[in-house]
Amino acid sequence: MKLILVVLIAAVVPCLAVDAAALTADERNNLPAEKVAATLVSRLTLEEKVSLCHGSNTWTVAAIPRIGLTEPLTLSDGPNGVRKQLILDGYGDAGRDDDHSTALPRTTVLAATWDRELAAEFGDVMGAEARERNKDVLLGPDVNLMRSPLTGRNFEYMGEDPCLAAEMGVPIIRSMQVYDIAACAKHYTPNNQRNKCSPEETRADERVLREIYLPPFEAAVKKGGVLTVMTAYDQFRGEPCSQSDHLINRILKKEWGFRGVALSDWGGLHTTIAGALGGLDLEMGPTAKIKHFKQPLLDAVKSGEVPEAVVTDKARRMIYLNACLKKIGGERRAAGSRNTPEHQAAARRIAEGGIVLLKNDAGVLPLNPAGIKKVLVLGENADLQFCDGGGSSQVKPPYEITPFEGIRRYFGDKADVTLMPLRLTNRFTEIPSDVLSGRKWQAEYFSNTKLEGEPVQAKDWHPRINSQDSRLRKDVPATGFSVRWTGKITAPETGLYVLGADHTGGLRVELDGKRLVDDWQDGENRFADAPMELEKDRVYSLVVESFQSARNPFIRVRWQEPSIAPPTKNELVSAVKAADAVIVFTGNQINRGRAPKVEDEQRAIESEAMNRPNLQGPDGQDKAVATVLEVTPNAVVVNLSGAPVAMPWVERAPTILHAGFGGMEAGTALARVLFGDVNPSGKLPYTFPVRLEDCPPQLVGDYTLFSDSGDVLVKMPGKNQGKVDYSEGLFVGYRWFDEKNIEPLFPFGHGLSYTTFDIGAPELSAAAIKPGEDLTVKVKVSNTGTRAGAEVVQLYVADPEASVVRSPRELKGFAKIFLQPGETREVEMKLVMRDLSFWDIESGGWNAEPGQFRVMVGNSSRAKFKEAVFVLK
């Protein structure tokens, strides 16, 4: 009965049936997508056109069956694999068990490969899997630049250099789109940090925009033929990017000739008329937030505020997109495939290629597995799964091999591989109030810093001080006071707990009369921790004392429960001594739940929707690493992070790998590099600074940034709210370090190998070129060591005679080459006029000034360069 009804309705309601508005077989076979779009849009009603300009829910745009567009357009994240299936009306998990996809390494790892072929493989996996999951638009790659090392989303980007991000983005897009899947270059731009008061207003001048932040998007459009571009949440020059006529109409569509669809970030469109006139084509967002391009857009056309031609153009672009994806007229679309061994092997190869050997001073690596019977893996990071986290880039893989698991599998039963945690702050949790004998704590406040005399105030309150609690301290001086809390603690189970206290000022803690913490000195932002053996149900007395002289007093006492308690120093030392190989994991975690909101909890965690407050690792980690290195300098340090971190123990660590977040095969890849099956060839796509203070001013709006030693570097509550001054201008990443002559910890482009290479002098195709001519640069590379391996030749250009400020050198090309021992081959790179140009504010165009240019080749941005010069006439 139901079936008959549907057939009847389809027969009488035009929009449910394909009617004369659809293409004839002849048109379908002969018209290119542009013509299909122009033809079909002329057959649409205004209402139908508007229906193509907004999501009908969080992830799809409605179909128009009567023109042959029978299926909705389906969009999905993300940048490193197809996101798990979410509910149609939001971000909730749809709870499916058939939505696993290959989790590729995060895009910073891909960028660290400096390998265009691997970028193409990356896109190939994404395209094939998106097609198999029946998606149409995959929301990636992210081609924003890493401007601040603290941005929580850095792991989704492709480093700090426009040339690298552009060159790696293009192959992803091209090979993804082969599958009749649209790639989406995001977030157009700038979009280089996230803070509490998003959307931020970005103040970057036109030259900075053109030379630094736009090139990866420009390449995505002009070279990659990307079919969609997502605008950023940020504001640019006082208006949201989603309605920026300058960015969308003028640059993207007019100058670059973008033919596809400009869509908003989710909920990122804020107005109807400005949005429509600014050039945005498609409003997307959580269902409830999609409103501006619905009825209000229809009304605006009817009232004449938005010309109908503007909406027609948007609808035409949407049909063009659908036509390119072969969604109109029953063409056969590319076949997809998912979770295949080939895709998993690609994930592994990319992870291997993106591992960067930072130091190998004593030649400890590769480790020889033959002599190893006992491997000690240290650090909780070694066995955490990261793929299904981090925000919209989460992917649910069918399995994920953690580094610990990878090392264990590598040995099978041939060696004993054990894991021991190091301390991680974010494993500290609030002590539940029933454990802390309810809230019945006695707090006595003294108006001096020595707990002397009679208390000026007594309260029932558990041990905590922060600015919100100041109302509890009415009679207590704002600075210069002391406090003693006395209470009881009852453990829910027997075991070794760790008490952890974040604090300013002095702190002492006693458990049943035994002093656990004695940090009675002044200072800001410190952390103290102490192990405590507790027996189930026994009541202990706990006394916490503190003095405070800072303006912003802060104390928070938490604990870590026994299941994850770290080893004591003695346990650690004896485990290290007993092992044949010690591998220590440091770095950050990818947030796997909601991004933490409290600044100090964001430390050592990377995620969309947050920034880190400094470069520091998790509490206690660095101390533990230093202890391990004291016992055995042969310990291998493996850093997992999507962005630079502080390495206070770097001088003591002769062997360091930087492995990033390597996707579902991260552990296999890492084991193969550690034990020499794979020779590392990754190069850093970003600069590791020695300290945060060495980076350009990190002004990210209403946000507090702490130096690595805990001092407040920038605090901007309320003031300058939401404004981000790009005051470093062109000097982003290594450009800043070179311009200011600051020694980085590890420079952009750095990465060692188990073999050695010799890079020859650049041979130029001409000593002088005329405007409009290209220049070819040839470089001989030899593998001078004993293992096969790959080297990345990097080509930097300097314009010392420029009439405007220019960076000391800019990456303009690179080539990765694999060589057998003793082999020599030549790589060829091309320089075009644009590579010599700066954006000329006055003429509003690219300007290559006549004069001498320097060409520098080497294997990092701080290499001993081999140089040549040429003249532009």
Positions marked active-site: 265
Residues at the contact surface with ligand BGC, assessed by CB under 6 A: 77, 139, 186, 265-266, 392
Tokens 């990377």 appear where?
606
226 or 323: whose CB is closer to ligand BGC? 226
Q: What phi and psi values does residue 183 have, to the nearest 5 degrees?
A: -80, 165
CB 160 within 8 A of CB 696: no
For residue 305, give the 3-state DSSP assignment.
Answer: coil
Shortest distance (Å) from residue 380 CB to ligand BGC = 28
What is the spatial distance between Cα 359 and Cα 144, in angstroms, rounded to a whole number?
A: 28
Cα-based torsion angle of the residue sequence 245, 251, 253, 257 in order, rounded to the nearest 10 degrees: 170
The residue among 82, 101, 196, 98 whose CA lies nearest residue 140 is: 82
Indicate the length of the chain as a whole number.
873
Nearer to ligand BGC, 92 or 492 (CB): 92
Instruction: Report in angstroms how near the CB of residue 323 gets to ligand BGC at its nearest.
Output: 23
- Name 870's Cβ contacts closer than 8 Å, sequence gap at least 6: 764, 766, 767, 768, 769, 775, 852, 853, 855
Q: At what angle do helices 341-353 and 116-132 cross, to 10 degrees?
A: 150
Residue closest to ligand BGC (Cβ): 392
Decide whether 389 or 618 has the Cβ nearer to ligand BGC: 389
Q: Which is nearer to ligand BGC, 187 or 408 (CB)?
A: 187
Query: Which tokens hold the place of 412?
Result: 């099978």
Q: How far is the CB of 612 from ligand BGC (least distance, A)?
A: 18
Least Cβ distance, residue 263 to ligand BGC (angstroms): 10
**Residues 529, 499 contacting (CB under 8 angstroms):** yes
Nearer to ligand BGC, 77 or 352 (CB): 77
Distance between CA atoms of residues 789 and 822, nearest Å: 11
User: Which CB, 266 or 746, lies closer to ligand BGC?
Assistant: 266
Q: Which is nearer to ligand BGC, 280 or 378 (CB)?
A: 280
Q: At closest approach, how far in Å is the CB of 338 from ligand BGC?
A: 20
Q: Tokens standing for 101? A: 């996809």
Closest CB 256 distance from ligand BGC, rounded Å: 21
Q: Which helix (H) or strand (E) holds 590?
A: strand 589-590
Residue 763 is encoded by which pair of tokens?
């041979």
* Angstrom distance (rounded) from CA 428 to CA 872: 61
CA separation for the pair 863, 98 (Å, rounded) = 49
Residue 220 beta carbon to ligand BGC: minimum distance, rounded to whole angstroms:
15
Name the residue nearer to ligand BGC (CB basis): 194 or 683.
Answer: 194
Taking the least distance from each CB to ligand BGC, the nearer of 77 and 200 is: 77
Instruction: Give all strands (DSSP E) within 481-538, no chain letters.
Output: 481-490, 495-503, 506-511, 514-519, 526-534
- Residue pair 464/556 in contact (Cβ under 8 Å)? The answer is yes
How far is CA 372 from each of CA 507, 583, 656, 667, 678, rounded to the nearest angstrom?
Answer: 44, 12, 19, 18, 18
Residue 378 vs residues 429, 583, 631, 655: alpha-carbon distances, Å: 22, 6, 14, 15
Q: Shortest Cβ distance from residue 201 to ligand BGC (Å)?
A: 17
Q: How far is the CB of 378 from ligand BGC (least distance, A)?
A: 34
